[in-house]
């Protein structure tokens, strides 16, 4: 039986519906990106440019933790949603128990690995003699919190899969809020420096995880938590979860590889200051791109439902509005970045070398930013219509297939300026390729609409 929310996907005015679907997701994604920027702000003010580099150098490892957690979260959300839809509540509880137990065991194994190999891992990620010790100070504490961060991400995906985007958004808000409150206390009042920033992050994640656990163990979730399900890992269910979540894992690992390549390029061409400048620019960029991804999350059910219902006109209308809105947001943000690059960077640090490098980076990022919105919506469109291979290709196009190779080539030719220019080149090429693919797909959809 269709709920009113489901019916609205096929009947409500497309513009207001897209707005209603997108706003919570955009807010949640903004909170997630803000969460990552907060540490940089307080570390830059309290520790300095080398502290910023020390925080950013371990970020690819965090992305890998997210990748594995999303395998459980995204795959688990799909398995549980299908079980609930078929009114197989026992299967849903069994899946939840399997995800919680196997996910926690996986997180503990990852924690042990990270704690044992922290130094060689950071060296591989680009840490040099300037920042290796300070990077260890930060990473050792962050890696201790791996099980908390891992399970927080798993549960966030699971509650979103239930359709409870508000709870997911609130958990991110709790984490960001606690982090913002504790960072200045630990860094400036207690004088803990990078260790304070790391502990603030871990404690914030603990608070968010407690909120999510309360949701499940208080019986408010659509899925009951049963102790006997927690004691038993179902291999068939775990196989389903991993197979569905594998694409999310590969995408996130691709991004982690991209970050690692860029860290090493900027470390080689600009030292620790280069790493700090790259990290700051990319974190600032995430404040724009992550909400755009949230808009894609809102577009996805609209496209999927109406494509399945052969209501292609609504699909095209939704895509048109999403393309215009995402491009407009990116364009306005690009203009803002071009007008105030130095002022924005100065919020984090007054180091002249960092500011000089970062301003060049912001200009290059802003030059290609207007192309990013449409590319994201086109990738979402192919997810929505069920074209898994094309959606996967488009999601990997910029972060893995284009940007790292371009950065390597251009940095070899032009040094750090070439590395910065790779951001613009990757955005333009990704837009051209995805745009060409979508134009063909749109033409086919119009023909299908005319035949209907």
CA atoms within 13 A on the CB side of 246: 8
Residue 48 has pLDDT above 60, yes or no: yes
Closest Cα partner for 348 from 52, 131, 58? Answer: 52
Residue 2 — pLDDT band, cuts 50, 70, 90? very low
Residue 4 has pLDDT above 60, yes or no: no
379 close to 296: Cβ distance less than 8 angstroms: yes
Q: Residue 163: what pLDDT? A: 64
Residue 1 — pLDDT band, cuts 50, 70, 90? very low
230 close to 217: Cβ distance less than 8 angstroms: no
The length of the chain, given as a count of residues:
452
Q: Residue 5: what pLDDT? A: 55
Average pLDDT, the chain: 89
What whole-number distance in Å separates Cα of residue 283 and Cα of residue 289?
10
Q: Backbone dihedral region of 233: left (phi > 0), alpha (psi from -120 to 50 degrees) or beta?
A: beta
pLDDT in tens, 371-405: 999 999 998 888 888 787 888 888 889 988 999 99
What whole-number distance in Å separates Cα of residue 336 and Cα of residue 316?
30
Go through 93-122 and write b for each residue having 16 or more CB atoms within 10 A of its CB, e for each that does not: bbbbbbbbbbbbebbeebbeebeeebeebb
Task: Please name the helix (run of DSSP H) or strand (run of DSSP E) that holds residue 187, with its range, or none.
Answer: none
pLDDT in tens, 290-313: 899 889 878 888 888 888 888 899
Residue 232 has pLDDT above 60, yes or no: yes
Q: Is 344 exposed, middle or buried (0-12, 13-18, 19+ CB in 10 A)?
A: middle
- Which residues fall within 8 angstroms of residue 189, CB to CB, at 6 or more apart? none
Residue 6 — pLDDT band, cuts 50, 70, 90? low
Q: Is 207 exposed, middle or buried (0-12, 13-18, 19+ CB in 10 A)?
A: middle
Which residue in this structure is represented by tokens 């540490």? 39
Closest Cα partner for 203 from 181, 220, 223, 187? Answer: 181
Q: Is 331 exposed, middle or buried (0-12, 13-18, 19+ CB in 10 A)?
A: middle
Q: What percent of the chain has pLDDT over 90?
A: 59
What whole-number distance in Å separates Cα of residue 274 and Cα of residue 134?
16
Please count the other Cβ atoms lying within 10 Å of the Cβ belonging to residue 88.
Answer: 14
pLDDT in tens, 74-130: 788 878 877 876 777 888 889 899 999 999 999 999 999 999 999 999 999 999 999
- Supply the DSSP symbol for 222: S
31 close to 223: Cβ distance less than 8 angstroms: no
Question: DSSP letters of 10-74?
Answer: HHS-HHHHHHHHHHHHHHHHHHHHHHHHHHHHHHHHHT-HHHHHHHHTTHHHHHHHHHHHHHHHH
CA 53 to chain CA mean position, Å: 20
For residues 162-183, average pLDDT: 85
49 close to 349: Cβ distance less than 8 angstroms: yes
Q: What is the dihedral of CA 368, 266, 50, 69, to 10 degrees?
A: 70
Query: SS3 for 186?
Result: helix
Residue 29 has pLDDT above 60, yes or no: yes
What whole-number distance in Å separates Cα of residue 419 and Cα of residue 243?
36
For residue 181, give both structure tokens: 């409150």
Question: DSSP letters of 366-384?
Answer: HHHHTTHHHHHHHHHHHHH
For residue 58, give both structure tokens: 């371990």
46 close to 187: Cβ distance less than 8 angstroms: yes
Q: What is the dihedral of CA 57, 126, 131, 357, to 10 degrees?
A: -80
Closest Cα partner for 18 from 302, 250, 227? Answer: 302
For residue 163, give both structure tokens: 């359709």
């Amino acid at each position: 039986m269709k709920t009113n929310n489901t019916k609205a996907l096929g009947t409500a005015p497309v513009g207001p519906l897209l707005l209603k679907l997108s706003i919570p997701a955009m807010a949640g994604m903004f909170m997630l990106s803000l969460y990552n920027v907060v540490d940089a702000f307080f570390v830059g003010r309290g520790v300095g440019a080398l502290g910023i580099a020390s925080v950013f150098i371990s970020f690819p490892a965090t992305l890998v933790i997210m990748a594995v957690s999303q395998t459980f979260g995204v795959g688990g959300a799909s398995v549980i949603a299908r079980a609930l839809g078929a009114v197989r509540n026992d299967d849903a509880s069994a899946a939840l128990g399997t995800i919680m137990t196997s996910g926690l065991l996986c997180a503990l194994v990852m924690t042990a690995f990270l704690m044992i190999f922290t130094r060689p891992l950071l060296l591989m990620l680009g840490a040099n003699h300037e920042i290796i010790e300070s990077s260890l100070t930060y990473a050792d504490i962050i890696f201790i919190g791996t099980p908390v961060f891992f399970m927080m991400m798993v549960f966030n995906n699971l509650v979103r899969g239930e359709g409870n985007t508000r709870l997911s958004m609130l958990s991110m808000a709790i984490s960001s809020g606690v982090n913002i409150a504790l960072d200045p206390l630990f860094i400036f009042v207690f004088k803990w420096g990078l260790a304070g920033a790391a502990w603030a992050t871990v404690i914030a994640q603990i608070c968010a995880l407690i909120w999510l656990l309360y949701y499940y163990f208080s019986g408010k979730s659509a899925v009951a938590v049963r102790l006997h399900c927690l004691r038993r890992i179902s291999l068939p269910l775990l196989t389903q979860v991993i197979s569905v979540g594998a694409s999310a894992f590969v995408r996130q690992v691709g991004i982690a590889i991209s970050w690692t390549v860029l860290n090493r390029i900027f470390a080689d061409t600009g030292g620790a200051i280069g790493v700090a400048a790259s990290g700051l620019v990319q974190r600032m960029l995430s404040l724009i791109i992550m909400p755009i991804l949230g808009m894609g999350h809102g577009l996805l059910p609209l496209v999927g439902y109406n494509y399945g219902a052969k209501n292609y006109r609504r699909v095209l209308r939704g895509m048109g509005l999403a393309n215009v809105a995402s491009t407009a947001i990116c364009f306005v943000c690009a203009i803002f970045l071009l007008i105030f690059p130095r002022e924005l960077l100065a919020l984090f640090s007054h180091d002249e070398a960092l500011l000089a490098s970062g301003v060049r980076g912001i200009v290059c990022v802003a030059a290609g930013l207007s192309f990013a919105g449409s590319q994201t919506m086109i990738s979402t469109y192919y997810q929505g219509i069920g074209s898994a291979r094309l959606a996967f290709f488009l999601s990997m196009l910029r972060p893995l297939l284009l940007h790292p190779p371009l950065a390597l080539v251009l940095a070899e030719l032009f040094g750090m300026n070439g590395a910065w220019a790779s951001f613009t080149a990757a955005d333009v090429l990704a837009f051209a390729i995805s745009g060409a693919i979508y134009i063909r797909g749109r033409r086919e959809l119009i023909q299908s609409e005319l035949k209907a």
